[in-house]
Chains A and B, each alone.
Chain A
Amino acid sequence: MIEFFTTYAERIILVVLILLILVSLVVFSGAVMSRWLLNRNIKRRERIRIYFGDLVIRYISGDLSFEKLKRQLHTVTDYIILLEVVNRLDLVLEGEEERRLKRLLNLKRIREYFTKQFENGKPLDAARACLYFSRQRKVKESLLPRIAEKTVDTVPAMAYSAGMAIMVHGNAAQKKVVIHNLMKNRGISNQAMSDLIKAFQSHTTDDRVAEGELLMDLIAARSYSPERTALMIRALGELGFYESAGFLLNEFEELDADDHDWLITEALIDVLTAFGMHEIQSKVRECFVASSYNIVRRASARALGVFPEKMNVHHLEWLLADSDFYVRFDAAKSLIDGHGIDPDELNVVALSEREWKELKGEIMESIKETA
């Protein structure tokens, strides 16, 4: 054996070298080929994207009919690219153009594609499908209970998207369950919850009373975190649901002066002030101008500026000496803007001349902006 290798060593080396060269050539040409194919696909895709971008622009501008555009769609790639184009434009358009875009989203194959995505068991695909449903004008009613179930999902994107779809298409009972699920879902951030509540409000039309009552029920249940409860209180305010004023006033009256949650107290003071509930003044003056939370003292300062009672002026003057800059700011603003007091007449002995000058400048700027 050794003899064989010794005799043919040169030939063996040559053969191995040739083999290595061949393999390298194959690998190299394979790499070049795959890069070329990739580039070709990218270019082709880009070309199709430009093509469909062009068609969609002409369609939404009224220069191309829906049928003609539809006839240009052949492959799955076409539909995917069309979706990309529509999604981009949908972010910037309203009115007639948006309505036309929505019609494209409603194409049968796109609907089927997302229905399959919803059912394939992958949370992120289902989340994308739910966001698609939330942009539709109508969704199959039979799908709604299954979408609602997804709001307890531990994947936040899934729970959020499902919630959004229900806010847009669900009935009052479904919304109630879904809001409850989402409020309890720790994966949903307060910002996301706030967006959902906004969607809830913007899709509240005919059954406004039912929606408002639903929020009141959820607040009364007292089973959510203070952040979530404050969010719902503010939602009632933003909804302009004045029917809830009595209920909110009751919640306010029940607040413990020494042991209150600052988020809930601030929300209640703000919303009740916006509803013009002057009944809150005495408790605000007696308890909350001296709250240990600066946020609550700020809300008190804002509220006392809205109601014209003379007694409020004394408390606001007292708040001018608060340790927190923003409480002093709100108190001074309420005195100037709310009670019509001349800034130069304000008793600001607790403030240095420089601080008062700075504060006054900011207040006047803020009043100008509000006006």
Chain B
Amino acid sequence: MTAPQKSVNLLLQKKHVGNYLFEENSVTSPRSGALPNMEKQKILVVEDEEMTARLIIYRLKALGYDVSHARDGVEGMGQIKKIRPDLVVLDIMLPGLSGFEILEELKADPEFDSSGIKVLMLTNKKSSGDVSRGFNLGAMEYVSKPFKMEEFLLRMDRVLKT
């Protein structure tokens, strides 16, 4: 005899606290997974600005990607080596290690297969110098803040399909 199943919707665990109806895990469980039967592509978002990171993660999860998040350069570097993501969305201005330093470190690491990882840079700076520096260090695409989410997703998709 099996134990009775709890009838809990794991995606939307609702909890009333004061005036607020908290839908726990809601940001990590958006609309739908667009890639239900496929092996999910792994994306690492290295972004220190919390709201920007949460928005990107939300939208990427909605599209069915397996998304991880690192809040600073050191954590980002560690995560890249640990989970070997298919794509890294990399902010350039980061505490600890900057985006450029991460790219440099990856390029210099002989154990790391830099050709297998795709990087999309995300930064405030629009100068052509930064773009070319990032490209020279191995980044494949560049999105400047402020950005349109649609454009961000389009560029990211292009990078993943390359």
Is B147 part of the contact surface with A, judged by Cβ < 8 Å? yes
10 A-B Cβ contacts within 8 A? A51-B20, A53-B50, A54-B27, A57-B51, A58-B30, A61-B149, A72-B20, A88-B49, A89-B55, A369-B129
Does A54 lie within 8 Å of B23, measured CB to CB?
Answer: yes
Known: A57-B55, A89-B52. A51 touches B147 (CB 8 A): no
* A-B pair number, CB within 8 angstroms: 73
Which residue numbers of A lie inside 8 Å of B, CB to CB? 47-48, 51, 53-54, 57-58, 60-61, 63, 72, 74-75, 85, 88-89, 91-98, 369
**What's the tally of chain B residues with a CB closer than 8 Å to chain A?**
28
B-side contacts of A72, CB under 8 Å: 19-21
- B31 closest partner in A (C-beta): A63
Q: How far is the CA of A96 from the CA of B148 in the complex (A)?
A: 7
Does A57 lie within 8 Å of B54, measured CB to CB?
Answer: yes
B-side contacts of A54, CB under 8 Å: 23, 26-27, 54
Q: How far is the CA of A95 from the CA of B154 in the complex (A)?
A: 14
A82 → chain B closest CB, angstroms:
12
B94 → chain A closest CB, angstroms:
15
| A75 CB contact (under 8 Å) in B19, B30, B145, B149 | B19
| A89 CB contact (under 8 Å) in B30, B51, B62 | B51
Q: How far is the CA of A67 from the CA of B6 in the complex (A)?
A: 33
| A53 CB contact (under 8 Å) in B17, B30, B51 | B51
Q: How far is the CA of A185 from the CA of B108 in the complex (A)?
A: 52
Does B62 lie within 8 Å of A61, measured CB to CB?
Answer: yes
B71-98 contacts to A (CB < 8 Å): none
B-side contacts of A61, CB under 8 Å: 30, 55, 58-59, 62, 149
Interface of A is mostly: helix
B5 → chain A closest CB, angstroms:
28
Is B37 part of the contact surface with A, judged by Cβ < 8 Å? no
A193 → chain B closest CB, angstroms:
22
A79 → chain B closest CB, angstroms:
13
Does B26 lie within 8 Å of A93, measured CB to CB?
Answer: no
B33 → chain A closest CB, angstroms:
14
Is B146 part of the contact surface with A, judged by Cβ < 8 Å? yes
Known: A54-B26, A63-B30, A88-B51. A95 touches B62 (CB 8 A): no
B-side contacts of A74, CB under 8 Å: 19
Q: How far is the CA of A92 from the CA of B150 in the complex (A)?
A: 13
Does A51 lie within 8 Å of B22, measured CB to CB?
Answer: yes
A-side contacts of B50, CB under 8 Å: 53, 88
Is B162 part of the contact surface with A, judged by Cβ < 8 Å? no
Does A95 lie within 8 Å of B31, measured CB to CB?
Answer: no
A-side contacts of B62, CB under 8 Å: 61, 63
Does B49 lie within 8 Å of A92, measured CB to CB?
Answer: yes
Q: How far is the CA of A74 from the CA of B18 in the complex (A)?
A: 11
Closest 10 CB pairs of A and B: A95-B148, A88-B51, A94-B146, A92-B145, A74-B19, A54-B27, A94-B148, A92-B52, A57-B58, A57-B55
Q: How far is the CA of A75 from the CA of B147 in the complex (A)?
A: 32
Does B27 lie within 8 Å of A57, measured CB to CB?
Answer: yes
B152 → chain A closest CB, angstroms:
10
**Which of B52, B146, B148 has the largest count of A CB atoms less than 10 A from its CB?**
B146
Q: How far is the CA of A331 from the CA of B12 in the complex (A)?
A: 68
Does B146 lie within 8 Å of A98, measured CB to CB?
Answer: yes
